[in-house]
């Protein structure tokens, strides 16, 4: 599975798909087409391709929290590969249908008393998600409108650009004021009694630098939006005060977006994501992909070369008695918290 990925970064197969595409910043035709062409709510991933815009959307849709199961991982990879085969598409927006959660990270049920056949397959599927995102010829923009802990943070870091919702006072469609959520992002595995895998930790190091990453990994830090921006974990933070599309546009989006992603916070993040996609589309695709190869190929090669060893280590680590106890304790704490609400 590894070889085709590297070829998608550096050989003719990838570059033949790279014709430049532009789209209007306020073009609602993209949203209008979403309302008729997007996948059903039952799909783990909702995806849509708009060839006129040269943009695709890939939205995780596994309630309640987009926890990364074997099946969701495979669905993400399958959808991304399908999008990649379309030569007219240059950018993908990775999003979530949940208005307050981007992805909660690994599905803990995959890790507790795991099946010895399924566990390595599950971990391989997560590795593949990272490889496919990080090594894609496409410019992938993370629209982070909700929480992104642990592997949810990894998904965002694997993208080319990260836009995070910063919360703030906003208005519902009928004009009522409401306070929005404040999402967080980070690799918080130590808070669960486990450690981030080496390749995920190194991804954080490459993203925010050695010393900040060293401290964040040790403490399991979850950064609020502005702190994430300062650290370089995200590239942009938008709020309903700082980024205000016209009321007519907001109202139109509420009507045009399909039910699973009809949310004002997500609309704001996605509007900003489209603007960023437009910037990437202006660059020569050949130059953009070559630049991506320069910055990412070595770490990709290292990851691919160490997949088997990484899987063996992870499976051995997760099955330790102390780790299993910590995971079960974490799940019990979540259940108690849920009952108290």
pLDDT of residue 2: 36
110 cis-preceded (ω within 30 degrees of 0): no
Q: CATH number for the domain including 229? A: 3.90.226.10
Q: What is the pLDDT of residue 329?
A: 92
Tell me what pLDDT residue 41 has. 43
User: What local confidence, expressed as pLDDT, does residue 178 receive?
Assistant: 52
DSSP state of 157: H
Structure tokens at 87: 């030569």
3-state helix, strand, coil in the chain (%, to 5): 55, 15, 35
First to last CA, the chain: 44
Q: Look at residue 280 in the predicted model and tell me its pLDDT.
A: 87
The span from the CA of 244 to the CA of 247, in Å, is 8
Q: Can you give the pLDDT at residue 318? A: 96
- 147 — phi, psi (to 5°)? -60, 145
Query: According to the model, what pLDDT value does residue 173 have?
Result: 38
Cβ atoms of 87 and 61 within 8 Å: the answer is no
Per the structure, the count of domains in the chain is 1
pLDDT at 338: 74
Residue 97 and residue 155: Cα distance in Å, rounded? Answer: 15
pLDDT of residue 283: 86
Please check whether residue 9 is in contact with residue 289, taking contact to mean a CB–CB distance below 8 angstroms: yes
**Calpha distance 4→134 (Å, rounded):** 14
Residue pair 108/328 in contact by the 8 Å Cβ criterion? no
Query: Which residue from 116, 109, 38 is spatially nearest to 72, judged by alpha carbons?
Result: 109
pLDDT at 259: 53
Q: Tens of pLDDT along the chain (341 residues)?
A: 433 344 444 443 333 333 333 333 333 343 333 333 444 446 999 988 878 778 888 999 999 999 999 999 999 999 999 999 999 899 999 999 888 999 999 999 999 999 999 999 999 999 999 999 999 999 999 999 999 999 999 999 999 999 999 986 544 434 455 556 899 999 999 998 899 999 999 999 999 999 999 999 999 999 999 999 999 999 999 987 776 654 544 543 354 344 555 555 567 888 888 788 878 877 888 999 999 999 999 999 999 999 999 999 999 999 999 999 999 998 998 888 777 76
Per-residue pLDDT at 269? 87
DSSP letter for 146, please: S
Domain of 127 in residue numbering reads as: 2-340
CA torsion, ordered 274, 277, 282, 287, to nearest 10 deg: 180
Query: Phi and psi (nearest 5°) for 95?
Result: -140, -170
pTM: 0.83
Alpha carbon distance 112, 319 (integer Å):
8
- Please tell me the distance from the alpha carbon of residue 338 to that of residue 341, in angstroms, as a whole number: 6
| Residue 243 confidence (pLDDT) | 66
């Amino acid at each position: 599975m590894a070889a085709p990925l590297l070829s998608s970064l550096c050989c003719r197969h990838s570059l033949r798909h790279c014709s430049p595409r532009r789209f209007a910043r306020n073009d609602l035709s993209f949203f209008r087409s979403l309302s008729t062409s997007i996948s059903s709510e039952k799909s783990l991933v909702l995806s849509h391709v708009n060839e006129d815009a040269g943009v695709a959307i890939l939205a995780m849709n596994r309630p309640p929290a987009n926890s990364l199961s074997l099946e969701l991982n495979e669905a993400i990879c399958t959808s991304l590969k399908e999008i990649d085969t379309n030569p007219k598409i240059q950018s993908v927006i990775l999003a979530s249908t949940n208005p307050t959660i981007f992805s909660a990270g690994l599905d803990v049920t995959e890790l507790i008393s795991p099946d010895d056949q399924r566990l390595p397959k599950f971990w391989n599927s997560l590795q593949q998600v990272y490889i496919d995102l990080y090594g894609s010829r496409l410019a992938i923009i993370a629209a982070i409108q909700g929480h992104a802990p642990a592997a949810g943070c990894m998904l965002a870091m694997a993208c080319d650009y990260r836009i995070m919702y910063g919360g703030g006072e906003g208005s519902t469609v009928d004009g009522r004021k409401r306070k929005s959520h404040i999402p967080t992002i980070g690799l918080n595995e130590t808070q669960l009694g486990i450690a981030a895998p080496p390749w995920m930790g190194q991804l954080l190091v490459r993203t925010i630098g050695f010393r900040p990453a060293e401290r964040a990994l040790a403490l399991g830090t979850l950064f609020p939006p502005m702190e994430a921006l300062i650290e370089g974990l995200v590239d942009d933070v938008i709020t309903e005060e700082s980024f205000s599309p016209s009321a007519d546009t907001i109202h139109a989006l509420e009507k045009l977006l399909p039910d699973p992603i009809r949310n004002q916070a997500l609309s704001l993040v996605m509007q900003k994501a489209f603007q960023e996609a437009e910037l990437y589309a202006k660059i020569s695709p050949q130059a953009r992909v070559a630049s991506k190869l320069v910055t990412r190929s070595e770490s990709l090669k290292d990851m691919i070369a160490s997949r088997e060893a990484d899987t063996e280590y992870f499976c051995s680590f997760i099955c330790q008695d102390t780790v299993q106890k910590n995971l079960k304790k974490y799940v019990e704490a979540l259940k108690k918290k849920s009952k108290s609400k």
